[in-house]
Amino acid sequence: MTLAAGIAVPVFIHLWHRRPGKVLRISSIQLLTAASVRHARSWRVSDWWLLLLRCLLIILLALLLSQPVWRRPLTAHTVKGWVVAEKTAYPAFRMQIDSLLRQGFQLHAPDTGLARLHRPENLPPDTPAAAYWALLWALSRKVPADLPVYLFTGNRLARFSGPMPAVGLSLHWQTMTPPDSVDNWNDYTYLADSDSLRIRKGRSTPSGTTFSFVDTLPGAADTATLHYTIYTDKYQEDARYLAAALKAVQQYTHRKINLLLVKEAAVIPASQDWLWWLSDNPVPAGIKAGRVIRYATGTPQPVAATVAGTNIRVFQRLPVKDTTGAAWPDSYGNPLLARDQLYTHFHPAWNELPWSGDFPQKLLELLYPAAVDKQHDRRSIDARQLVLPVHAAVAKPAVNPLQETPLEKITWGILLLVFCAERYLSFKTGIAHE
């Protein structure tokens, strides 16, 4: 409808066009009577070529706004192959990539859009947070299985996140270690029991990530003493096991901690950093804490599982009511801790945590999480793992992939030629009518 309305504009102007009247020269106007002035308009179509050129201009403008592309089946007969390369990987594989491009391979951006590029200089900046598995999935939807695809990327392990896709691609994947392959940073700073500052330093390399402690003089950092409170009414043994594990954490970190065990809610301090509520009763509304961990309520269910990543057996658990902030999963993926709810007890009748040397380690991960974000993670993936998704057999897509070629430049060229022809014909027609 918009295109039809646009074409109507030059047609209407063409039909409404006034032609100048012809001048008749006479010797005298005394015998001519006055007459009202009349303007004649000709509704007869003339100058057909000029009208068609103006309509074509409108059509070409509408076509440009629609971003025209030429689609044709993408096969090994129509395209030599694809090259998908990251900007940081291009210098390491420059000779190979340039050779492939000279052979007729197409260069594409290393993202899920896979936009076609004409020169390596047009490669977009790398996206450190993007997952390579998502890139493989996008390639499997746009490239037929018999078309060679050369993929050049980094080998950072953080980029291989999420489920590994099963794809059928003729893929040749080469990786390189990015230039910034080592990162050192201060992970956590706190006041030690010797009144010195202890800094937990992180170091990440392609081979792994490690943490170490360095003691220094007090300065501008977190110098506050942490206050931990354990409350219980009838689970006295649970409280003793938990207190022993927290003391082991304190001895390892040398963090300045004030640990308090109470049996009455009335003597709980007005505020604390952590409150361990080992009771079936609800936490009173007036109690404040940075974080509260409390026993969930319900009927215990017997299970035969382990704490995920350990050999610690779990014998009983409570029904999970909320999986938000799930942590400490068991071997079946069910959370033993979710947000502030603990769905097991610190007791040998429930699990082997009280007797395990991994119990303080689990508390250490909870109290001082040392999760390495993608900003610092420099670990690299084993190159043998890259072969796994390549040879997986998948069903043939219902719709054949298409090769898209943008037509903007061609349309602009035609538009310029038509505009020049319209101006020339309009000028020539104007001279002829004078």
Sole residue written with tokens 């076609």: 116
Write down the pLDDT at residue 17: 55
pLDDT digits (tens, 9 = 90+) for 176-212: 998 888 888 887 777 777 667 778 888 999 988 888 8
Sole residue written with tokens 């390596």: 120
Of the listed ranges 125-134, 348-357, 387-396, the least confidently predicted one is: 387-396
pLDDT digits (tens, 9 = 90+) for 257-292: 899 999 998 899 988 999 999 999 999 988 889 999
Give the residue-averaged pLDDT of 285-300.
91
Structure token digits, residue 86:
């990251």
Between 6 and 310, whose confidence is greater?
A: 310
pLDDT digits (tens, 9 = 90+) for 64-110: 777 777 666 665 556 788 999 999 999 999 999 999 999 989 999 99
pLDDT digits (tens, 9 = 90+) for 113-134: 888 898 999 899 888 778 898 8
- Nearest CA to 277 out of 298, 260, 287, 292 is that of 292
For the packed helices 48-65 and 408-433, what is the interaxial angle rounded to 10 degrees?
Answer: 160
pLDDT digits (tens, 9 = 90+) for 139-174: 888 888 788 999 999 999 888 877 777 787 888 999
Give me the sign of the Cα torsion angle 268, 272, 276, 281: positive
Per-domain boundaries in the chain = 2-20+42-68+407-433, 72-180+380-406, 243-367
- Nearest CA to 340 out of 259, 281, 284, 277 is that of 277
User: How many of the other CB atoms lie within 10 Å of CB of 144?
Assistant: 19
176/173 Cα distance (integer angstroms)? 10
Cross-strand pairs, 351 = 314
pTM listed for this prediction: 0.52
Q: How far lies 137's CA from each of 87, 142, 170, 215, 294, in Å?
A: 20, 9, 13, 48, 42
Write down the pLDDT at residue 18: 52
Give the residue-averaged pLDDT of 365-370.
80
120 near 171, Cβ under 8 Å? no
Percent of the chain with pLDDT strictly greater than 90 = 32
On the question of pLDDT at 224 being above 90, the answer is: no
Structure token digits, residue 34:
């006055």
Between 262 and 370, whose confidence is greater?
A: 262
- Nearest CA to 387 out of 125, 164, 102 is that of 164
Classified as helix, coil or strand, 153 is strand
Q: Where does the pLDDT of residue 393 fall: very low under 50, low under 70, confident under 90, or very high at 90 and above?
A: very low
Distance of CA 71 to the CA centre of its chain: 28
On the question of pLDDT at 223 being above 60, the answer is: no
389/167 Cα distance (integer angstroms)? 6
119/99 Cα distance (integer angstroms)? 13
Sole residue written with tokens 């009927």: 299
Write down the pLDDT at residue 153: 93
Distance of CA 248 to the CA centre of its chain: 40
Average of per-residue pLDDT values in the chain:
80
Write down the pLDDT at residue 268: 92
Residues in Cβ contact with 251 at an 8 Å cutoff, skipping those fewer than 6 apart: none
Give a three-class secondary structure readout of 268-297: CCCEEEEEEEECCCCCCCCCEEEEEEEECC
pLDDT digits (tens, 9 = 90+) for 14-43: 555 555 555 656 655 555 555 555 554 555
Indicate the DSSP class of residue 327. E
Write down the pLDDT at residue 242: 96
Write down the pLDDT at residue 26: 62
193-202, 385-394, 414-423: which has the highest mean pLDDT?
414-423
